[in-house]
């Protein structure tokens, strides 16, 4: 059985669908601080069977011990954590407690139970503003926020753990910009309040929940002046976790891989693609740059291709089509969320 912490969240729920579809038994552990338990039913509707679910916090050692005692866990995929960059600047202790201390408690409970296999959700934010694009795993750490530094700390903790005990099997996956939704439309990104990220903001404008999109700067040194990112379909990202588990099943190791497409798109290109996929017009206004934004980054995904045998298969049109399907379904079925 695979334990998925944070499995009710955006990326976790898509990964649980793929794990179940591939024949795995799955136990989701989530404190529901940023998700809804209804996602379990919607995952079951897609996969044809439900994962098990425990409402618990990764900081609760007793609850973790009970989980490891009651189930034969082979591996952990660890998504649980807080992820809002701006919030991490305002509340750093909360971020270090949840993301770093929470992971320490989880790793301790795993070691005590003899479970030494983990896939960890890291982020391209550990690179900060990279000097070279595409960004490879060899780029130096330059995280620019407490959130990014919490990811770096957990990465270094995992490297030290492997150095001390090389029986561990560890995959650190650095995600670029996860977007899109499951093509069934039953699960997708469901942010609380005003979205910070581009794609959920665009979909909320398209459905009429917000009047217009603010484009944060059109004077960057990029072809159309707007920021460039590597947008990766969340189903491709989910499949990257299955590929990582397969790689870990071969032998003890500690690997670090970027999960991105290798292709960058500007904000204006995303808006154009979304208008085409949805048939909706997205009113935009150009505002000033957002503090902390970098002009351009995208992944060098070649290590994931050679080491994990994984590449992203879905492009920007698929991303926009699936994000729009999800937003339309969610707006029409609020009682199911
Ligand atoms: P999400 O907020 O949708 O999912 C995280 C889940 O973890 C939520 O269901 C939340 O309730 C749960 N959770 C949080 N703290 C917990 C705790 N202490 N105990 C138990 N459950 C807890 O976020 P997501 O977008 O699915 O991200 C998943 C992981 O991927 C996070 O670690 C995030 O930092 C990382 N990541 C996300 C992105 C992105 O853009 N979405 C990019 C890079 C990395
Ligand atoms: N962006 C924007 N308007 C928004 C949200 C984001 O123009 O309302 C831009 C942002 O400046 C960046 C890109 O869209 O160039 C992706 O931003 P997002 O917050 O989604 O991801 P991140 O900054 O974490 O890469």
Among residues 72, 81, 82, 80, the alpha carbon closest in space to that of 27 is found at 72
How is residue 51 annotated by DSSP? P
Among residues 145, 71, 70, 79, the alpha carbon closest in space to that of 106 is found at 79
Would the CB of 35 count as within 6 Å of ligand 1?
yes
- Peptide bond preceding 134 in cis form (omega within 30 of 0): yes
Instruction: List % helix, strand, coil for the chain (3-state, nearest 5).
Output: 45, 20, 40
Task: Kindly tell me if the per-residue pLDDT of 39 is higher than 90.
Answer: yes
Would the CB of 10 count as within 6 Å of ligand 1?
yes
- C-alpha angle 44-83-114 in degrees, rounded to nearest 5: 65
Task: Name the H helices within the chain.
Answer: 10-21, 38-47, 61-70, 85-90, 92-95, 102-113, 146-164, 198-206, 234-250, 267-278, 302-303, 316-332
Give the pLDDT of residue 192: 86
Q: Which ligand is nearest to the CA of 104?
A: 1
Is residue 191 very low, low, confident or very high in pLDDT (cuts 50, 70, 90)? Answer: confident
Q: What is the mean pLDDT of the chain?
A: 97
Would the CB of 59 count as within 6 Å of ligand 1?
yes
Give the pLDDT of residue 292: 83
For the chain, the distance separating the N- and C-terminal CA atoms, rounded to the nearest angstrom, is 27
Q: What is the mean pLDDT of residues 63-80?
A: 98
Cα of 225 vs centre of ligand 2, distance in Å, is 13
Q: Which ligand is nearest to the CA of 199?
A: 2
- How far apart CA 17 and CA 129 sit, in angstroms, is 33
Give the pLDDT of residue 46: 98
Burial of 156 (0-12, 13-18, 19+ CB in 10 A): exposed
Residues comprising the chain, all counted: 337
Question: What does the pLDDT look like over 223-270, one tens digit per residue?
Answer: 999 999 999 999 999 999 999 999 999 899 999 999 999 999 999 999
Ligand 1 nearest atom to the CA of residue 30, by list position: 21
Question: What does the pLDDT look like over 83-113, one tens digit per residue?
Answer: 999 899 999 999 999 999 999 999 999 999 9
Task: Return the half-sphere exposure (C-beta side, CA atoms, 13 A cut-off) of residue 289.
Answer: 12
Q: Which ligand is nearest to the CA of 298?
A: 2
Give the pLDDT of residue 227: 97
How is residue 153 annotated by DSSP? H
Among residues 196, 203, 197, the alpha carbon closest in space to that of 178 is found at 197
Catalytic residue among 95, 147, 175, 231: 147
Cα of 241 vs centre of ligand 1, distance in Å, is 15
Q: What is the mean pLDDT of residues 197-208?
A: 96
Give the pLDDT of residue 325: 98
> Cβ atoms within 10 A of the Cβ of 2, count?
25
Are 102 and 79 contacting, i.e. CB atoms less than 8 angstroms apart? no
Is residue 273 very low, low, confident or very high in pLDDT (cuts 50, 70, 90)? Answer: very high
Based on the residue annotation, tell me whether 231 is a catalytic residue of this protein: no
Task: Kindly tell me if the per-residue pLDDT of 304 is higher than 90.
Answer: yes
CATH topology of domain 2-336: Rossmann fold (3.40.50)
Q: Tell the residue nearest (CA) to atom 14 of ligand 2.
A: 198
Give the pLDDT of residue 236: 98
């Amino acid at each position: 059985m695979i334990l998925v912490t944070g499995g009710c969240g955006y990326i976790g729920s898509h990964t649980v669908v793929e794990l179940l579809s591939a024949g795995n038994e799955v136990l989701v552990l989530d404190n529901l601080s940023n998700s809804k338990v209804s996602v379990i039913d919607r995952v079951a509707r897609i996969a044809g069977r439900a994962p098990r679910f425990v409402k618990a916090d990764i900081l609760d050692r007793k609850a973790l011990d009970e989980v490891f005692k009651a189930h034969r866990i082979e591996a952990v995929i660890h998504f649980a954590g807080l992820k809002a960059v701006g919030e991490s600047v305002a509340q750093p202790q909360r971020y270090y407690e949840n993301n770093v201390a929470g992971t320490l408690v989880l790793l301790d409970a795993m070691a005590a139970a003899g479970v030494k296999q983990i896939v960890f959700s890291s982020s391209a934010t550990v690179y900060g503003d990279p000097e070279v694009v595409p960004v490879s795993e060899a780029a130096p750490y330059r995280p620019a926020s407490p959130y990014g530094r919490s990811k770096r700390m957990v990465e270094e903790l995992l490297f030290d753990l492997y150095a001390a005990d090389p029986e561990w099997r560890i995959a650190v996956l650095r995600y670029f910009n996860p977007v899109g939704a499951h093509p069934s439309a039953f699960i997708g990104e469901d942010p609380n309040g005003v979205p910070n990220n581009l794609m959920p903001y665009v979909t909320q404008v398209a459905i009429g929940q917000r009047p217009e999109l603010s484009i944060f700067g059109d004077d960057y040194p990029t072809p159309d002046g707007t920021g460039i990112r590597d947008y990766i379909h969340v189903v491709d990202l989910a499949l990257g976790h299955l590929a990582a588990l397969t790689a870990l099943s071969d032998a003890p190791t500690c690997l670090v891989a970027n999960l991105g497409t290798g292709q960058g798109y500007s904000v204006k290109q995303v808006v154009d693609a979304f208008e085409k996929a949805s048939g909706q017009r997205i009113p935009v206004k150009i505002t000033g740059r957002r503090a902390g934004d970098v002009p351009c980054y995208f992944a060098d995904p070649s290590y994931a291709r050679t080491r994990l045998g994984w590449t992203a298969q879905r492009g920007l049109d698929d991303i926009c089509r699936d994000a729009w399907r999800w937003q339309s379904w969610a707006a029409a079925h609020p009682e199911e969320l």
